[in-house]
Amino acid sequence: MKRLVIVVLPLMIACQPAEETTTKENETEQNKTEMADKKVTGIGGIFFKCEDPESMRKWYNENLGLVTNEYGSLFEFRLSDEPEEKGYLQWSPFTKDTKYFEPSEKEFMINYRVQNMEKLVAELKESGVTVLDEIAEYEYGKFVHIMDPEGNKIELWEPVDNTFTRMYEGKTTK
């Protein structure tokens, strides 16, 4: 009996780590697959309240060189997965009394670039996240707003960057 235990026990111990590693590797691969379906891919916009948006745009243009338009400034960058493609980030000052940030009482709002908007929103709802509106679709992308646990309104954007390229070619901050 002792011989059987001595032979079986080392065999069980030798097999144990391999099974755990395989399980962990499978879980990691599953998490990567799930995250590929729904994820933030970057910052899409920085929005903030101020007394005089026009003066702010002018100040940032004159002092920091931002190329401005009626909405603020559009920053251009290259996508890491597709370096030949351009991506965009919108910087926008809003009037202090804007309703756009409601129901948040904060002075700012961040826009996150996302993929697979419909799936992401469905999963956010299943997780109990407050989704404030329905997905709105424009030629330059899909948008929806959510609230984080501390009352920050967040804008999610699934961009169509080539539309921005056509609209703002040569009129961006680089």
> For 94-129, how does the pLDDT look when each residue is reduced to its tens digit (9 = 90+)?
999 999 999 999 999 999 999 999 999 999 999 999
| Of residues 135, 137, 136, 141, the one with CA closest to residue 165 | 141
Provide the mean pLDDT of the chain.
Answer: 85
User: What is the architecture, at CATH level 2, of domain 40-168?
Assistant: Roll (3.10)
Overall average pLDDT of the 21-30 stretch: 56
Alpha carbons 75 and 88: distance in angstroms, whole number: 5
**Non-local CB neighbours of 126 within 8 Å, separated by 6+ positions:** none
Specify the pLDDT at position 105: 95
Provide the whole-model pTM.
0.76
20 pLDDT higher than 60? no
* DSSP per residue, 33-96: HHHHHSEEEEEEEEEEEES-HHHHHHHHHHHH---EETTEEEEEEE-SSSTTSEEEEEEEEEET
